[in-house]
Amino acid sequence: MAVLRARADRTTRRLLAAGLASGPVFLGSWAGQALTRDGFEPSRHPLSLLSLGEHGWVQIASFVVTGGLAAAGGWGIRRCLSTGPGRTWGPLLVGGYGLGLVLAGIFVTDPGAGFPAGAPEGAPESMSWHGILHEVGFVTAMLSWTAAAAVLGTRFLRLRDVPWATAFLASALAAPTLALWPADPATFVPRTMVATTWQFALLAALAVRLLRRLPGAQDVASEPAPALRQAQGA
């Protein structure tokens, strides 16, 4: 039994470590390409455009690998959240976030905003089938993360962990705020990257929190507070 438990703990650690690595891989790939790809301007070009051109395979691989790591992190979180509110849907939605990134990588976007060289300066006049599926992947990732952050934020709120609840609930509000806020369109790309960085930072922070408590004492993210256990009849 002890051997099986040790193996289970190792598997959980690896899954959580994958979730922890997803952010650095994603953001490191974007930063490296932003500095080296001719004609790419990170302040106005969405990172999806990096999937185009001669070296587009790098960003395609980044989307797929990062999505896989994030999905694995969601599985690791699920293995840790054995009880309490949101223990099922929170991790599943984190997995949906990762799968959306994989989909966005497999199906590339359409050229636009003057990138790569020769592309129209504005948005493309019409979208290709793979461009549509790319947007489906992007929307899936964003909606999944928004829902996951809301579920996990609510979990922490019910467990009376206000700082973590605030961080997740604020992240849940970030995506719709970015989409609906009547700000200068020229700042949309930087705002999106800030929100994305925030998402990966929260995923990494939660992975670290859970890793530090394997296989030791239970964490409040894994078990309801005593008062809640009593309220739930535990």
Dist CA 165 CA 158 (whole Å): 9
Give the C-alpha separation, 181 to 32, whole Å: 30
Other CB atoms within 10 Å distance of the CB of residue 177: 13
pLDDT of 186? 63
Residue 219: what pLDDT? 43
Q: Is there a contact between 124 and 110 (Cβ–Cβ < 8 Å)?
A: yes
Residue 16, classified by CB atoms within 10 Å of its CB into exposed (0-12), middle (13-18) or buried (19+), is buried
Q: What's the pLDDT score for residue 180?
A: 66
User: Which pLDDT score is estimated for 232?
Assistant: 31
Distance CA 171, CA 183 (A): 18
Tell me how far apart the alpha carbons of residues 159 and 49 are, in angstroms, rounded to a whole number.
Answer: 41
pLDDT by 10s per residue, the chain, length 234: 554 565 668 899 999 999 999 999 999 999 999 989 998 988 888 899 999 988 999 999 999 999 999 999 999 999 998 888 899 999 999 999 999 999 999 999 999 888 888 787 777 778 999 999 999 999 999 999 999 999 999 999 999 999 999 999 999 988 777 766 655 556 677 778 888 999 999 999 999 999 988 764 344 444 444 333 333 332
Rounded to whole angstroms, what are the CA distances from 174 to 30, 70, 100, 181, 221? Answer: 21, 19, 18, 10, 23
| Beta-bridge partners for 115 | 112
CA distance readout (Å), 146 to 6, 139, 141, 197: 34, 10, 9, 14
| 28, 61 Cβ separation under 8 angstroms | no
Residue 219 is classified by DSSP as P
Task: Give residue 221's pLDDT.
Answer: 46
| pLDDT for position 78 | 94
Angle between helices 188-211 and 162-180 (to 10 degrees): 160
Q: How far apart are CA 5 and CA 233, in angstroms?
A: 27
Closest CA to 171 of 210, 192, 145, 189: 145
